[in-house]
C-alpha cells in the first residue's frame, strides 16, 4: 500500500519510520535538533580535510550525546568537495544507527547517482536534496536553473520511494543571496511547496549567508504558514551576523520545532570572508534547555564532542557555551 504524492510515492514503511523518529518531539515543549556538523560543517572547513577515523569518532560522540538525526556525509563531486570524498567509507565505519533511542544517519545527494550510492549502504537511513530560492545561487552552486534542479530530483525521489528512504529538502538563500541580494519570499514559498509536493517529508529553510534578522524570519514564516504546516518546516541559520539564536527564537514562536545546527559552530560561510558559519549546537541546546524545552541531548557530552573535533581542527570552538563550560572544568 502506498501514499501517492503529486510527483512520486512514499511508502507507508517510510512514513511510519518518520513517525517513530518524531515521537520524542511531538509536544510543544520539545524540539528536534538536526546535527549537520559532520557534513555541512566539515564540508566548509577548508583548511584541512578531517580523516575518516576522526569523522567516525565525531559521529559516535554525537550519537552518544543524544543527537537523533546526524548528517554524516554527502555523495557529491570529490573534485569540488574533497572533504566529503570518503562518505561511503564513513558510512561503512560508523555502523548501523541505534534503534533505542531511534537515531537517523543522513546523507546529502545532488542527483540519482548519489541517491543510488546512499541507498546501497544500510547505515544511511535517510537522504537530503537541496534547491535554491535564488536563481543566481543555483547557477553558481550547481550549474543549473532552479527549474532544472527540480527536474534532476525526480529520479532521486523515485528511487527513494522504491527504497522506502525518507527524503528531506533544503532551500538555500531564503533571506539573502551573495549574488542577488534580497530574495523574494514568494520564491521561497514556491520552491518549498515544490519540494514537499515531490515527496520530501520536511523542508529546511536555510539562511545561507546569515543575513536574516528576526523580523525577516517572522515575515517569511508567516508567509509560509497558510501553505505549509509548521511541523513540516525546519530552520537552518548561519550566524554570520550574530542573528542565529534570535532568529531561532522567532521560529519557535511560529511553532517550528526542528532546528539544524552544527557542533562547535563548524563550517565557515564561503560567501562572506571571515564570517562564522552554522549556529553552534551547544548554544542552541543551552538556550532551549534554559527555556524549559526538551531536546534529549546531554549538553556536557555534546561539549565533549565539540571539543574533540575542535582539537582535531586545531582551533577553538566557535560555541560560546562550550567555551564557558570548558573554562569551568579547568
* pLDDT tens digits, one per residue of 11-50: 444 554 454 444 444 446 899 999 999 999 999 887 889 9
Q: Is the pLDDT of residue 7 over 90?
A: no
How many residues are given for the chain?
Answer: 330
Cα separation, 182 vs 207, in Å, equals 11
**Which three three-digit cell numbers place residue 254?**
511560529
Annotated catalytic residue, options 67, 107, 177, 269? 269
Active site residue 269: yes
Mean per-residue pLDDT for 118-135? 96
Q: Identify the pLDDT of residue 270.
A: 65
The set of long-range contacts for 89-95, using a CB threshold of 8 Å and a minimum separation of 24, is: 89/52, 90/38, 90/52, 90/55, 90/56, 90/59, 91/121, 91/123, 91/124, 92/121, 92/123, 93/52, 93/53, 93/56, 94/56, 94/59, 94/60, 94/123, 95/123
Q: Identify the pLDDT of residue 27.
A: 47
**Cβ(112)–Cβ(123) under 8 Å?**
no
Range scoring the smallest mean pLDDT among 12-16, 246-250, 293-297: 12-16
Mean per-residue pLDDT for 215-243? 97
Nearest by Cα to 63 from 31, 35, 32: 35
* Position with higher pLDDT, 170 vs 267: 170
- Please classify residue 51 by burial: count the beta carbons closer than 10 Å to its beta carbon, then call 0-12 exposed, 13-18 middle and 19+ buried: exposed
**Cβ(50)–Cβ(312) under 8 Å?**
yes
Which residue bears the cell 530560492? 133
Cα separation, 281 vs 38, in Å, equals 12
Which residue bears the cell 579547568? 330
Confidence band (pLDDT; 50, 70, 90) for 1? very low
Amino acid at each position: 500500500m502506498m501514499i501517492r504524492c503529486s510527483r512520486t510515492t512514499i511508502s507507508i514503511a517510510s512514513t511510519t519510520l518518520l513517525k517513530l523518529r518524531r515521537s520524542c518531539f511531538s509536544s510543544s515543549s520539545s524540539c528536534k535538533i538536526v546535527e549537520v556538523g559532520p557534513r555541512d560543517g566539515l564540508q566548509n572547513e577548508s583548511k584541512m580535510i578531517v580523516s575518516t577515523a576522526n569523522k567516525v569518532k565525531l559521529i559516535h560522540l554525537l550519537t552518544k550525546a543524544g543527537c537523533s538525526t546526524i548528517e554524516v556525509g554527502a555523495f557529491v563531486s570529490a573534485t569540488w568537495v574533497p572533504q566529503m570524498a570518503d562518505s561511503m567509507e564513513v558510512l561503512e565505519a560508523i555502523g548501523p544507527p541505534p534503534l533505542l533511542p531511534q537515531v537517523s544517519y543522513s546523507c546529502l545527494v545532488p542527483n540519482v547517482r548519489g541517491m543510488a550510492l546512499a541507498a546501497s549502504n544500510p547505515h544511511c537511513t535517510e537522504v537530503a536534496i537541496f534547491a535554491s530560492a535564488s536563481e543566481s545561487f543555483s547557477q553558481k552552486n550547481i550549474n543549473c536553473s532552479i527549474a532544472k534542479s527540480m527536474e534532476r530530483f525526480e529520479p532521486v525521489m523515485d528511487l527513494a520511494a522504491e527504497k522506502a528512504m525518507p527524503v528531506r529538502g533544503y532551500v538555500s538563500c531564503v533571506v539573502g543571496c551573495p549574488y542577488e541580494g534580497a530574495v523574494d519570499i514568494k520564491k521561497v514559498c514556491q520552491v518549498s511547496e515544490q519540494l514537499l509536493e515531490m515527496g520530501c517529508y520536511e523542508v529546511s529553510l536555510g539562511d545561507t549567508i546569515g543575513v536574516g534578522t528576526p523580523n525577516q524570519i517572522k515575515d517569511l514564516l508567516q508567509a509560509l504558514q497558510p501553505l505549509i504546516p509548521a511541523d513540516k518546516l525546519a530552520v537552518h541559520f548561519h550566524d554570520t551576523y550574530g542573528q542565529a539564536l534570535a532568529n531561532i527564537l522567532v521560529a519557535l514562536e511560529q511553532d517550528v520545532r526542528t532546528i539544524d545546527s552544527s557542533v562547535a559552530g563548524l563550517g565557515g560561510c564561503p560567501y562572506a570572508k571571515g564570517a562564522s558559519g552554522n549556529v553552534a549546537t551547544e548554544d542552541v541546546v543551552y538556550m532551549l534547555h534554559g527555556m524549559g524545552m526538551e531536546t534529549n541531548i546531554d549538553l556536557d557530552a555534546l561539549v565533549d564532542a565539540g571539543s574533540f573535533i575542535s582539537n582535531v581542527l586545531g582551533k577553538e570552538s566557535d560555541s560560546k557555551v562550550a567555551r564557558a563550560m570548558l573554562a569551568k572544568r579547568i
